[in-house]
Amino acid sequence: MLPAPRFTAFNPPRRILMGPGPSDVYPEVLAAQSRPTVGHLDPLFVGMMDELKSLIQYAFQTKNEMTMAVSAPGSAGMETCFVNLVEPGEKVIVCRNGVFGERMRQNVERMGAIAVLVDNEWGTPVDPTAVEAALKANPDAKFLAFVHAETSTGALSDAKTLCALAKTYGCLSIVDAVTSLGGVELRVDEWGIDAIYSGSQKCLSCVPGLSPVSFSSAAVEKLKNRKTPVQSWFLDQSLVMAYWTSAGGKRSYHHTAPVNALYALHESLRMLVAEGLENAWQRHHDMHLVLRAGLEKLGLNFVVAEASRLPQLNAIYIPEGVDDAAVRTRLLKDYNLEIGAGLGALAGKAWRIGLMGFGARRENVSLCLKALEEVLS
C-alpha cells in the first residue's frame, strides 16, 4: 500500500472581498452553514425549504410558484432557464454587451437553437431600439434573452423596457440577474419577466454554489408543452419542482440537496427581509456614491456612464503605465483586499470593484480608497 500523503488543515486568511464575486459573507450566514446537517427529506428541513422558497419570491418580488434554488452556481441557473424553455430549431434574440451575454449565445447554440445577436458596445447597456428592430425582423422568435447587470463591465440595462418589448412581440423573456438581485431594483412580476436566474454569492452575501431561479406561469406552460425532452436530467425543472413542492404532503426524491448551503441562503435572505429590499437597494447606491467621489479624487475614470452604471460593480480604467497584476497582487498581499481584473475586451484595461451585500459598507470603501491611493502613489 502506498503511504498516505500528509496534509495540514486549510485555514485561509480573512480577506476583504471587493471583486466581482464572491462577496464578503455575513458572519451570521457562515454560522448558519455550520449548523448540524440533517437529511434532505427531514420534515424540519422540508419546512425550511418552504420558507426559503418564500424568501426567494420576496427577493425577486414575484408570486411565481416555480421559484427555487438550483443546487449549483449562477452558471447552472443560466443553463436551467435555457435548457428547460428553448428547444432545437427555435429562435432566440440574444443581447450581447459583455461576457455573460456571450455565454447566453453559447447556451442557445449548444441546444441546437438559433441565436439572433443584438450587439452593444462593452460598457453600455442593451439598446431597446436595436432590440425592437431585431424583434420586428424576426417575427418567428420565441425568446428575448439579456443580462440585467453585466458583471464583466458594470453596465445596467433597462429590464422593464426590454421585457415589455418581449411581451409586445410575443416572446418569453430570459433574464440574467446574477449581479442585480438584492443590489438594484428588480421586480419580476411587475416587469413581466418570464424566466430569471441569479447567484448566492453576489449581493445576497451568501456562500457560492446556489442559484435562485423563477419561472412565470407562461414559462411553465412552455415547459409543460415541450415537443422534446429537456436535455439535462439534473436541471429538468419538471422533475426538480416535485422536490421543492409538497404533493399530498410528500416530496419526491430528486437529488441530495446541499443542506448546509441552503441553511446559509435561508439566513442571508432572512437578513435581506430584516433590512428591507428597498433599503438594501439604497445602501448599495449610497456606498457607490462614496466610492465614486474617492475614485474621482484619485483621477480614476469609470468604464460605464453614470446613468447606466451598476452601484455594486464598479469598472474603472487602469491608469496609463500602471501594471494591472502588480497592483492587484500588492492589494491582496499588503491589505488583504481583493479587487477584480477585467474580463474579455476589458482584460488588462480595467479593474472591477465590487460593493455587494455585506461588502457594501463604509469601512470597506474607505480601506479600498486608501489602499489604492498608497499603491498607485
Per-residue pLDDT tens over the stretch 49-104: 999 999 999 999 999 999 999 999 999 999 999 999 999 999 999 999 999 999 99
pLDDT confidence tier of residue 37, bands split at 50, 70 and 90: very high
Q: In this structure, is residue 3 part of a structural domain?
A: no
pLDDT confidence tier of residue 238, bands split at 50, 70 and 90: confident
Provide mean pLDDT across the span 309-328.
97
113 has pLDDT over 60: yes
The reported pLDDT for the residue numbered 169 is 98
Residues 187, 333, single domain; the answer is no
Q: How many CB atoms lie within 10 A of CB 225?
A: 7
Query: E strands along the chain, which residues?
Result: 16-17, 66-70, 91-96, 114-119, 143-147, 149-150, 155-156, 172-176, 195-197, 211-215, 313-317, 337-338, 340-341, 350-354
The reported pLDDT for the residue numbered 249 is 60
Domain boundary, last residue among 254, 272, 290: 272
Provide mean pLDDT across the span 189-204.
98
Domain boundary, last residue among 272, 301, 320: 272
Strand order in the sheet with 143-147: 66-70, 211-215, 195-197, 172-176, 143-147, 91-96, 114-119
Residues 58, 134, single domain; the answer is yes
Residues 254, 316, single domain; the answer is no
**pTM of this structure:** 0.96
Q: What percent of the chain has pLDDT over 70?
A: 99
Q: In this structure, is residue 6 part of a structural domain?
A: no
What range defines the domain where residue 317 resides? 16-22+277-376
Count of structural domains within the chain? 2
331 has pLDDT over 70: yes
Question: Which residues face 338 on adjacent strands?
Answer: 17
At residue 7, the 3 state secondary structure works out as coil
The reported pLDDT for the residue numbered 330 is 97
Q: In this structure, is residue 10 part of a structural domain?
A: no
347 has pLDDT over 90: yes
Residue 175 is part of a domain; what is its CATH number? 3.40.640.10
